[in-house]
């Protein structure tokens, strides 16, 4: 029986290369890049599957809970 997992991806666009960069903050090693958002989503799904396959049941049970992002403003 398969277990379903849901993750939130952080997505940025590299100004130098124009590539989209995606990462899953609470899944170690889950990051990838692509030239389109559709391709990025496909790549992220693949990397998440690979990362989950490498984790032990104990590690899977101990994944941190993603809470969200918070914007911080400072003046320097």
pLDDT at residue 73 is higher than 90: yes
Query: Which of 1, 3, 4, 5 has the alpha carbon at shortest distance from 65?
Result: 5
DSSP state of 17: T
Q: What is the pTM of this model?
A: 0.83
Which tens digits make up the pLDDT trace of 30-70? 999 999 999 999 999 999 999 999 999 899 989 988 888 89
Q: How many residues does the chain have?
A: 76
State the burial class of residue 44 (Cβ atoms within 10 Å of its Cβ: 0-12, 13-18, 19+).
Answer: buried
């Amino acid at each position: 029986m398969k277990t379903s997992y849901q993750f939130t991806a952080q997505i940025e666009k590299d100004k130098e290369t124009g590539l989209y960069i995606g990462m899953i903050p609470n899944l170690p090693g889950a990051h990838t890049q692509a030239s389109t958002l559709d391709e990025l989503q496909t790549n992220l799904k693949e990397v998440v599957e690979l990362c989950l396959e490498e984790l032990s049941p104990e590690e899977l049970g101990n994944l941190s809970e993603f809470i969200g992002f918070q914007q911080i403003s400072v003046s320097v």
